[in-house]
Amino acid sequence: MRWNLDALYPYFDSSEFQGDMKRCEEEIQEIIQWAEANFTTHDKPVEKIEVYMERQNRFFHLYTRLLSFGELSLSVNAKDERALRVVEHLEARETELAKPMVMFQKWIGELDDLEKVIASSKRLEEHLFYLMEIKKNGKYLLSEGEEILVAKMKNTGSNAWSKLQELLSSTLLVDINIDGEDKKLPLPVVRNMAYAKDAALRKKAYEAELKSYEKVAESSGASLNGIKGEVITLSKMRGYGSVLEKTLMDSRMDQETLDAMLTAMVESLPTFHRYYRRKAELLGHENGLPFYDLFAPMGDVKMEFTYEEAKDFIVKNFRSFSDTLANYAAHAFEKGWIDAEPREGKRGGAFCSNLHVIKESRILSNFTGTFNDVSTLAHELGHGYHGHCLNDETYLNSDYPMPIAETASIFCETIIQKAALKGASEEEVFAILESSLMGAGQVIVDIYSRFLFERELFKRREEGSLSVEELKEMMIRAQKEAYGNGLDHHVLHPYMWVCKPHYYYGEANYYNFPYAFGLLFAKGLYAEYMKRGTKFIKEYDQLLSITGKKSIADVASTMGIDIRQADFWRSSLKIIEDDIEAFIALKK
C-alpha cells in the first residue's frame, strides 16, 4: 500500500538527482541568456519559436521530475526537511523564468504574421493553440517596468492580504463547551463537527463557529476589500472588460458557455430544494434544513472493503467501461503507483500527480475501507487516466484549464457509484445517494450562491469598500436565492466569505463556477455514454487527449457536444435530478 518513486530518482543524494539539479540550474541560465539575445530582433521567427519551445519542454521535463520527487516525498513524510528544502529551492528558482516568458509574450505579440509563421513549420502547427493563446494573453501585458513594479507591489498588496487572512483563519480558536468543559478549538476541528452523528453537537458547533468569526470579521473584511480592490484596478489597467472576462479567458471558456450552464443550473434549483426539504423532514425540521444540518450524516450502513476488494471492485467495474481504463487502473495498483496506507506524518486527503516526463502517475490516498475511500481511489485513478491519455502530447500541449480538470475523475467516480448502487441493499442505496447528493448540492447550489456573492462584490467594490454588515447581508441574500426554501432562512451562514479561502486569491477570481463546470461536464459526458454506448469510448479517450490544446468549447465539439446550449447542461443535471427523485422515493 505504499508507492515506489524509483522511476523518478533513487534518493536525494543519488548522482542522478544531483546531476539533474545541476542541469536544471544551467537550463534556467541558458534560457534567460538565450531570450535576452534573441527576443530583441524579429528575424528568423520560426527558428526562434522552435528553439524556445524546445528549451521550455526540456526544462519542464527536468523541473517537474525534480519537483515531483520532492513534493511526493514530502507528502508522505511532512518531517522530511530535505524534501522541503528541495521543493522551496526549486519553486524559487522557477520564478526566474517569468522574465524570459514575458519577453517571449511581448515578442510574439509584435509579430504581425504569426499565423503564417506557424503554418510554415509542422512543429509550430502542433502548438498552434498554445502560441495563439500566448499572443492573445500578451495583449493584456503592461510595460516591462510596470509588470515588475506590479509583481513587487503584489507582495505587499494582495499577497500580503491573503497571508493575513490565512493567518487569521489558521490561528482562530473557537470557544465551545463540550461535555461540560469549556474548550478553545481550531476552526477546522469545529467545522468538521458538521459531519458528527450527534445532532446537538452539530448545532452547538455551528453557533460557536459563527460567534468566533466576530473576532476576525473586521480584519477579514479589510483583506477582502484590499484584494478585490487591487484585482479591479489591475483588470482595468490591463484592458479586460471585467474581472469575470479574465477568469473565463484563463479557463478557456466563454460567456455564452457560462450563461448556458447557469441557465440550466437555475432551472434545476427547485429540485435541489426538494432534496434539502426532504433531508430536513427526515431530520425532524419543519421549515427547511438549518445550515448546520447540511452535512448531517444519514443512514446507518457499513459498507466495508479491504484494499484488495477495493482494487478488484474498481478494476472490474472500470472494465465494464473499457479495457484500456481497467488495464490502466490494474497497472497502477500493481506497479506501486498508489500510496494508500494512512500513517503518521503523511498528509490527509487524496491527490493524483501525473508525471508526464516518465508517462506514469502517482496517487496518494488515505484508505480506511469505507465506500467513500473506494470512490476516492476511483476519482484519483480518473485523474491518472486523463494523464495517461495525454502521454503522447508534448509537455506544453498537456496543460489543461481548471474547469476541465475534473472530467475524467468524476466520470470514473460515476462509474463506481452506479456499480455500487446496483448490488446494494435499500439502506445502502439510501446512504450512497445521500452522500452523493450532499456533494452535488455543494457544487451546484452552494457554488451558485458563491458566484452570486462574488458578482455583487465586484460590482459594489468598484464604488468603494464594503462594511462587514454589507458583506454579511450580501452573503445571506445569495444563500436565500440559491437555496430557496431548501434551507431554513433563519439559520443561514452570513460569514461564508470569511471561511472560504477562495475569495482571497488575487490571481484566481470567481474560483467557484469551474467546480460546477467540472461536475456537470463529466455528468453530461456520462449521459452521452449512456446514449451512444461503446461508440462513445474511443471518442472519450480522444477528447481527453486534446484537453491541453483547444478551448473547452472546441474540445467538446469534437464529440458533437455544444456546451453553449443549455440543453447539454440540462442532460447533465438530469442525472443528479434522477438521483434526487430516487432518494425522495426511497424513504416514502
For residue 126, count other CB atoms closer than 10 A to its CB.
17
Please report how close the Cβ of residue 174 comes to Zn ion at its closest, in angstroms. Answer: 29
- Of 88-107, binders to Zn ion (CB under 5 A) are none
Q: Which is nearer to Zn ion, 317 or 409 (CB)?
A: 409
Q: Which is nearer to Zn ion, 45 or 514 (CB)?
A: 514
Of 225, 397, 409, 572, which lies in the binding site for Zn ion, with binding defined by CB under 5 A? 409
**In angstroms, rounded to a whole number, what is the distance separating the alpha carbons of residues 543 and 553?**
11
Give the interface size with Zn ion as a residue count (CB under 5 A).
1
Alpha-carbon torsion 133, 152, 54, 357, what sign?
Answer: negative
- Of 500-539, binders to Zn ion (CB under 5 A) are none
Q: Which is nearer to Zn ion, 377 or 492 (CB)?
A: 377
Please report how close the Cβ of residue 425 comes to Zn ion at its closest, in angstroms. Answer: 29
**In angstroms, rounded to a whole number, what is the distance separating the alpha carbons of residues 374 and 365?**
10
Q: Which is nearer to Zn ion, 274 or 383 (CB)?
A: 383
Using the contact rule CB under 5 A, the part of the chain among 39-47, 57-65, 254-262, 402-410 near Zn ion is 402-410
Please report how close the Cβ of residue 135 comes to Zn ion at its closest, in angstroms. Answer: 31
Q: Which is nearer to Zn ion, 220 or 409 (CB)?
A: 409
Residue 310, all three cell numbers: 477495493
Exposure string over 367-393, b if 16+ CB within 10 A, otherwise e: beeebebbbbbbbbbbbbbbbbbbeeb
Please report how close the Cβ of residue 433 comes to Zn ion at its closest, in angstroms. Answer: 21
Q: Which is nearer to Zn ion, 75 or 409 (CB)?
A: 409
For residue 502, count other CB atoms closer than 10 A to its CB.
15
**In angstroms, rounded to a whole number, what is the distance separating the alpha carbons of residues 105 and 38?**
13
Using the contact rule CB under 5 A, the part of the chain among 11-19, 334-342, 407-415, 529-537 near Zn ion is 407-415
Please report how close the Cβ of residue 394 comes to Zn ion at its closest, in angstroms. Answer: 24
Q: Which is nearer to Zn ion, 38 or 376 (CB)?
A: 376
**In angstroms, rounded to a whole number, what is the distance separating the alpha carbons of residues 380 and 410?**
9
- The one-character DSSP state at 487 is B
Please report how close the Cβ of residue 439 comes to Zn ion at its closest, in angstroms. Answer: 12
Please report how close the Cβ of residue 450 comes to Zn ion at its closest, in angstroms. Answer: 18
Show Cβ contacts of residue 52 under 8 Å, excluding neighbours closer than 6 positions.
31, 34, 35, 38, 104
Please report how close the Cβ of residue 519 comes to Zn ion at its closest, in angstroms. Answer: 10
Please report how close the Cβ of residue 442 comes to Zn ion at its closest, in angstroms. Answer: 14
Show Cβ contacts of residue 271 under 8 Å, excluding neighbours closer than 6 positions.
577, 580, 581
Contacts 24+ apart (CB under 8 A), 54-59: 55/27, 55/30, 55/31, 56/31, 56/395, 56/396, 57/394, 57/395, 57/396, 58/27, 59/24, 59/27, 59/28, 59/31, 59/97
Please report how close the Cβ of residue 342 comes to Zn ion at its closest, in angstroms. Answer: 19
Q: Which is nearer to Zn ion, 62 or 377 (CB)?
A: 377
Using the contact rule CB under 5 A, the part of the chain among 91-99, 177-185, 392-400, 404-412 near Zn ion is 404-412
Using the contact rule CB under 5 A, the part of the chain among 237-245, 288-296, 406-414, 549-557 near Zn ion is 406-414
Q: Which is nearer to Zn ion, 64 or 409 (CB)?
A: 409
Closest-by-Cβ residue to Zn ion is: 409
Q: Contact between 235 and Zn ion (CB under 5 A)?
A: no
Please report how close the Cβ of residue 440 comes to Zn ion at its closest, in angstroms. Answer: 15
Q: Which is nearer to Zn ion, 59 or 371 (CB)?
A: 371
Q: How far is CA 276 from the centre of its chain?
A: 25
Torsion angle of the four alpha carbons 38, 39, 44, 50, in this order, in degrees rounded to the nearest 10: 90
**In angstroms, rounded to a whole number, what is the distance separating the alpha carbons of residues 8 and 68?**
8
Using the contact rule CB under 5 A, the part of the chain among 179-187, 226-234, 403-411, 546-554 near Zn ion is 403-411
Q: Which is nearer to Zn ion, 290 or 514 (CB)?
A: 514
Please report how close the Cβ of residue 71 comes to Zn ion at its closest, in angstroms. Answer: 17
Tell me the DSSP string of 265-296: HHHHHHHHHHHHHHHHHHTT-SSSB-GGGTT-
Using the contact rule CB under 5 A, the part of the chain among 167-175, 401-409, 427-435, 447-455 near Zn ion is 401-409
Please report how close the Cβ of residue 7 comes to Zn ion at its closest, in angstroms. Answer: 23
Query: Which candidate, 205, 317, 280, places its Cα nearest to that of 434?
Result: 280
**In angstroms, rounded to a whole number, what is the distance separating the alpha carbons of residues 572 and 512?**
18
For residue 137, count other CB atoms closer than 10 A to its CB.
16
Tell me the DSSP string of 19-61: HHHHHHHHHHHHHHHHHHHHTTS-SSHHHHHHHHHHHHHHHHH
Q: Which is nearer to Zn ion, 244 or 355 (CB)?
A: 355
Q: Which is nearer to Zn ion, 164 or 408 (CB)?
A: 408
Would you call 495 helix, strand, or coil by DSSP?
A: coil
Residues near Zn ion (CB under 5 A) are 409
